[in-house]
Structure 1
Amino acid sequence: MKNKKIYSRNENILDLLVHRHPFLFVDKILKFKKNQLLIAKKTIFSNEPFFKGHFPQRKIFPGVLILESIAQVANIFICKNKENPFVKSIYYLLSVKNARFKKFVLPGDEIIITVFFKKEIKNFFWFDGVVKVKNITVCTSTIICGKDRFS
């Protein structure tokens, strides 16, 4: 039953991610299955700062931020999958493959972000990400996240 617990942003998300507003693209964890998947959501509001430039006449949630939301959900998965999930570690987005944008995400939409864990090799983690609005797929992508390898 604990996998079905719903976590609010304040009780869990901020403990697991180093991201903060305005670059936090996860509102709530909906479901977590160890070694399998994590499902989260984000509500898109019309007053989000990026809408001032993307695009002022027709506000569209940027595709790159959809990919960022997948990466943030993957980071939460990695942290929750560890023995001590509240030891913050930063896992960077290292690769995006086969990203497909199928529909626009607009203000008022609630995106449901699902990451499916594929494999881990030496602190590199592969995920398939699917983002949906009203049960319609708006984006799919395969990503790789890993610990800081640039220092």
Structure 2
Amino acid sequence: MPQDDYFTPEAIATFLSADWSVSTRNDRMGFFLVGPAVRHAAGHDIVSDDIVMGAIQVPGDGRPIVLMADRQPTGGYPKIATVIGPDLGRLTQARPRSLFRFVQVGLEQAVSARAAEAAGLRTQPRFEPLVRTRFTSEFLLGLNLIDGVYCS
């Protein structure tokens, strides 16, 4: 974990075992997490250092914040973890009050997840044309028809 020495072993265990959800107070700067407070070992102020996308800062109130695309370049709160790239998209689509948990992964697992994501993106989606054989009155009345010709 990035700065796990700022947290007690119990706080790290709580972070990894708790059910979390995103609050309704989210934007492109950060996603505020709802769950148990994560306590610091000895204070929450650190010398400002760089922040990567997905870093999870824990301010003084113990409520973690996942920093997103428009995050500040530096921050002065300890970071308990970083969300790996392939999981950031899932997190950004999480609805408020939907529950999830964090899992600690190593470098090999993170690289493997990134490779799997890249392989999935290389796969072309299969498209099937929509062929209508029955045109109801409701369907036809909903179209923009000019002299019986369909204009899209």
Give the structure-1-normalised TM-score.
Answer: 0.26
Whichever of the two has the greater Rg, that structure is 2
Which has a greater percent of helix? 2
Which has a greater percent of strand? 1
